[in-house]
Structure 1
Amino acid sequence: MQSQIASAFQNASDIDEAESILRSCVHCGFCTATCPTYQILGDELDGPRGRIYLIKDFLAGQETSSESLEHLDRCLLCRACETTCPSGVRYARLAEIGRREMDKKLTRPLPQHLARVVLRSIFPYPRRMQFLLRFAQAWKGVLREDWAARIPEPCESVDTLSQQGSVHPRVLLFDGCVQQVTTPNTNRALTRVLDHLGVSWALPASAGCCGALSLHLNAEEEAHDFMRRNIDVWWPWVEEGIEAILVSASGCASMLKEYGQSLQDDALYREKARRIAELVRDPADWMVSMGAGISAAKSPRSRIALHNPCSLQHAMGLHGQIEQLLQDAGYELLPVADGHLCCGSAGTYSLLQPELSGELQRRKLENLQAAHPDCIATANVGCQLYLQQKSQVPVQHWLQLLADVLPAQPALP
């Protein structure tokens, strides 16, 4: 694809990167076949190829309206197009740059702007989110049915696992922000599995939001601040030689894997960021690579429909590891149609684009429940919470299923 960058953008540090990505696109259109929003809307501008053209025209200095930004906002950043693309176009990175620059030039309607500020002010901060969640749970009975369905059931304190673990751990765990408030049992399940395998771990209490929410809402500097804070927290352990940082929320893991890219212009942090990105591992991928697995004390005989999050299969390119671990543990995995498509959660997307998100949720649950599973398993907190809203069967993190088959007493190292 031919491109020419307007002089107004020449000073942006990553514009050369954007131009390189633009030039790598051969506008073949294969990406449209796997784009969830194109499948629903049927509009070329609501598919990857059309959005690439919108970004190209904008960066070339052509007049751009808020309608272009709306088409970019409708993108889930699921990255299914990247999995399909024969040319290796880094669409998500291009969309990140394009949305950021377009957001600077165009004025959003006040309700949109305020919604984004509120989301950025609450979700990355566990204490604030916990307060809001408890308030919402207390009033759940008087809310509209569709809003009440969005509110997770009460859970234990966010501090349960903080600062626990070994003084000299082999691996670090990451609690993030949303997961530690809404589904703390996920990391509890991970610690049970690690204890059973004889792997020492630690969960630093002061690590926080990975920065993905801020970055996807075009607050780049805010996102970078979250990243730097996490790097500072983990670096003493990195220097001591930890083996990996295990991240049980695949949405966070995919963001952490891109710290090196995000902080590439930060002379103080770029090398540390690259090292952190190298250490970040999905627990299933790490376990399989280590030859570790769980043999069930007794066969669970449960039929599972697995939803692989976009962040796992498209952003990190992982396939088959969770399936292997669950099958080895005795679970029966059912076939699921269109497993490559997004469930519609996509971070804050379900709140900012409820109609499109709702249709994707409906389609995904129809496919997941087609074979009448006992349970739906997934690897990301956002997908888990979103699917549970309308699911007719329980939705659990796969680590919980693995922990459920462990013997009563953990095995010694």
Structure 2
Amino acid sequence: MNNTATTNNDLLAPSKRLVKRYRAEKRFRRCGIAAITLSLAFVFFLFFTIFSDGISAFKQTWIELKVEFSNDLFANENLAAADYPGLVKRSLRTMFAEVKSRKDKKLLYGLVSPAAAYKLQDMVEADPKIIGTVQEVWVLADDDVDMLMKKKIDRTVPESNRRIRDIQLEWIDKLVAQGRLTTNFNRTFFTSGDSREPELAGIRGAIKGSFFTLLITLALSFPIGVAAAVYLEEFAPSNHWTDLIEININNLAAVPSIIFGLLGLAIFINFWGLPRSTPIVGGLVLTLMTLPTIIIAGRASLKSVPPSIREAALGVGASKVQTVLHHVLPLAMPGMLTGTIIGMAQALGETAPLLMIGMVAFIVDIPGTFSDPAAVLPVQIYLWADNPERAFTEKTSAAIMVLLAFLIVMNGLAVLLRKKFEIKW
């Protein structure tokens, strides 16, 4: 009897262990699903926060002024010497004749951006015939007015707790009622460089700086990286020196990016004497950072080419160099291009190494050449994020959206290239 019970227990033991194993697998699967769900929730929250804060930056508020280009203001033949800020103030005083006190006039002038005077100057210099006429001109509103129109400033809070005064709210309501205040697409954000005034700040200078920097990075890192990968994989002898080089390349891929910035500061600026805050130095630093990624990806692509390709080429009389250049390298090129694009996307999003070489400077002018001082898009985001004004906060989020769009496009291009040119042996 006891022997029979023992035998039954022995037969049931494997099934019990099997049930426990299935339960453990289900728990592990649930944990994995929970982890993925939590990660997606955080990513969604991040994108939602950036989008909700930055979408308003693509709109901008304009005020219509009735400007009288009086002849007495242009008695001097030099049109650039005319008092254009005074012309803007005169127009505002004419529109709001009830404003008398000096304090209220100062608040009235604050409704309009300083860029209004430059727009009037451009109009006169482009067409001097408007002198002596009255023109309806749309000019940029101040950033506080812009924030109010975008509902970023709460009208219901006490006057002491907001940047817009009650009397300014009355003037703004009057302009809205007259149809002289509207919100349009913010072209300034894409056509202007950096500025201390939020309504005038744009990303064109940072985009051109990023373009010049990445162009230098690509021109240097791709040929050097491909040549190094080909040599190490196809021609380098197997010895201790080759092993040491391979270990160092793999280690460099994991070095913090700020170390490359310190290296660029010590060599390119302090030793070579290259100018600070220029795409030349930025491109050289990012080249050093991107090379390990391209070399590792290039070697992996070369390894994926079957040995039969090499053997067939050598068998028909091709030399080692001809085999590599005419047969192996073309087949490995799609993978190399994918690694290069991923490395360039990584370089586009880097900030720390560029801060070390001075690309954090406040640059108003848009760079025209590789040697002009410039900022890059991640550094521009860093500068705006450090500014406490609410208008710069939305521009920071908008610039992040633009940067993410570039990164998504570059990574998507890498995936498409890999799918299009992938060869399954």
TM-score, reference length from structure 2:
0.22
TM-score, reference length from structure 1:
0.22
Query: Structure 1 or 2: larger helix share?
Result: 2
Q: Which of the pair has the greater relative contact order for Cα pairs under 8 Å at 6+ separation? A: 2
